[in-house]
Amino acid sequence: MPQQAWSAKRERQYVHIEQGLEERGRSKKVAKQIAARTVNKERARSGEAKQASRTSTDDISSSRRGGLRSHSGSAGRTRDQLYAEARAQNIEGRSKMTKAQLEKAVGR
């Protein structure tokens, strides 16, 4: 559940992320966990949290990372995402393939 310390903006952000994840097929429990982690990371990045880990402040922001992976730009999908799709398609030899080979085998 969202914490009392969150601002109205962070509450809206939490609900938006949670609903989006549920629409994409994530379970309610997992969606809540991911949404809370994302909001807490954004709070840390903007200085709203009392404590912040180094990765929360130095790492690429959650929204930017999601935006980079949501389309097939220069990096496109991660190797793990491609591997999961290759497994779903039952492609032989997938465990030894590189990212480029997986992209070609998956054919998208």
Instruction: Check residue 42 and give its pLDDT.
Output: 83
**Model pLDDT for residues 47-66, shown as the tens digit of each residue:** 777 776 666 666 666 667 66
Query: CB of 45 within 8 A of CB of 52?
Result: yes
Query: CB of 105 within 8 A of CB of 86?
Result: yes
Query: CB of 82 within 8 A of CB of 65?
Result: no
Higher pLDDT pick, 95 / 5: 95
Instruction: Check residue 91 and give its pLDDT.
Output: 92
